[in-house]
């Protein structure tokens, strides 16, 4: 990953932006504030409040090759900037290592020794990230974490009509094939999961009295279905009844419950 450490010599925003332009991810290390990992310019530019830390002797910028970092930890793609505790745990060790590297403690060492020590720094960086994410180091653990974030991304966009495996993969910074592999390796698994979650949400709305005034077609549209016939067919396949029947059954059931409650109060 070719870790490089420099002491902050400009305003933080300018210093980070300059390194990000070089296709490198940046970890801000400071004893006075929380550490932050920035992956790319897009992530950095979307911050509501860009960091305004001024240069001090206690702020270091540790950067690594972005593509190499994402190959090792692909779940980082699509996540917001990570925050690290620099006072204890692996973050404190990483801050000390960064400070020593910037001070030139490896100058004059033989190449083999330098290479081994730089690998230790890389391993420490990975450990710090994994600790921040509370993530298992195993491949299975990383896979579960990545899948969790992609499922959350999908859940927040089920209403979008153009939500597809291709758009999800692009937003997550992975290939469509890698996305399929996260969902048990089946091409239909991603689309099938999206379909099931949409149908479950529609079923919940149809059985919720708060949505009684909404036409069924509008509820389906609100959850990503543009084709009414396709929606009705898929809904019946999943629930064994039409959307209208489900709504009517729910209304009857609620009516009986209300009558029972009224009788009990008499």
What domains are there in the chain, each with its CATH number?
Answer: 4-135 (no CATH), 141-265 (1.10.10.60)
Bridge partner list, 82: 37
Interval 140-194: pLDDT, tens: 666 777 788 788 889 999 999 999 999 998 887 778 888 888 887 665 789 999 9
Higher pLDDT, 98 or 263: 98
- Percentage of the chain beyond pLDDT 70 is 86
What's the gap between Cα 78 and its chain centre?
5
Burial string for 204-228 (b: 16+ CB within 10 Å, else e) reads: ebbeeeebeeeebeebbbbbbbeee
Nearest of 149, 168, 148, 3 to residue 69 by alpha carbon: 3
User: Quick check: 77 pLDDT over 90?
Assistant: no
**Distances 127 to 33, 134, 142, 216 between C-alpha atoms, Å:** 20, 10, 13, 50
User: Quick check: 234 pLDDT over 90?
Assistant: yes
Q: Supply 73's token pair.
A: 């930890």
Query: Please, which contacts does 39-47 make with residues 24 or more away whose CB atoms are closer than 8 Å?
Result: 39/66, 39/69, 39/70, 39/76, 39/77, 39/79, 39/81, 40/66, 41/17, 43/80, 43/81, 44/16, 44/17, 44/20, 44/81, 47/81
User: Quick check: 75 pLDDT over 80?
Assistant: no
């Amino acid at each position: 990953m070719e870790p490089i450490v420099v002491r902050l010599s400009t305003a933080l925003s300018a210093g980070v932006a300059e390194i990000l332009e070089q296709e490198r991810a940046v970890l801000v290390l400071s004893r006075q504030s929380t550490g932050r990992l920035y992956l790319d310019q897009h992530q950095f530019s979307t911050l509501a409040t860009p960091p305004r830390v001024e240069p001090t002797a206690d702020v270091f910028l540790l950067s690594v090759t972005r593509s190499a970092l994402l190959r090792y930890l692909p779940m980082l793609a699509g996540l917001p900037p990570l925050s690290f505790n620099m006072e204890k745990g692996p973050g404190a060790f990483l801050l000390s290592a960064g400070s020593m590297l910037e001070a030139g403690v490896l100058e004059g060492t033989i190449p083999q020794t330098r290479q081994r020590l730089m690998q230790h720094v890389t391993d420490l960086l990975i450990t710090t990230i994994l600790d921040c994410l509370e993530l298992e180091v195993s491949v299975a653990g990383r896979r579960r974490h990545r899948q969790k974030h992609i499922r959350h991304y999908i859940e927040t966009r089920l209403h979008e009509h153009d939500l597809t495996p291709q758009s999800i993969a692009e937003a997550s910074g992975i290939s469509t094939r890698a996305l399929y592999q996260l969902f048990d390796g089946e091409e239909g698994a991603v689309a099938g999961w999206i379909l099931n979650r949409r149908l479950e949400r529609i079923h919940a709305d149809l059985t919720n009295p708060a949505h009684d005034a909404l036409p069924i077609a509008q509820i389906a549209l609100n959850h990503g279905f543009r084709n009414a016939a396709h929606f009705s067919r898929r809904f019946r396949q999943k629930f064994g009844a039409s959307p209208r029947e489900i709504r009517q059954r729910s209304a009857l059931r609620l009516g009986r419950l209300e009558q029972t409650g009224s009788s009990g109060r008499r």
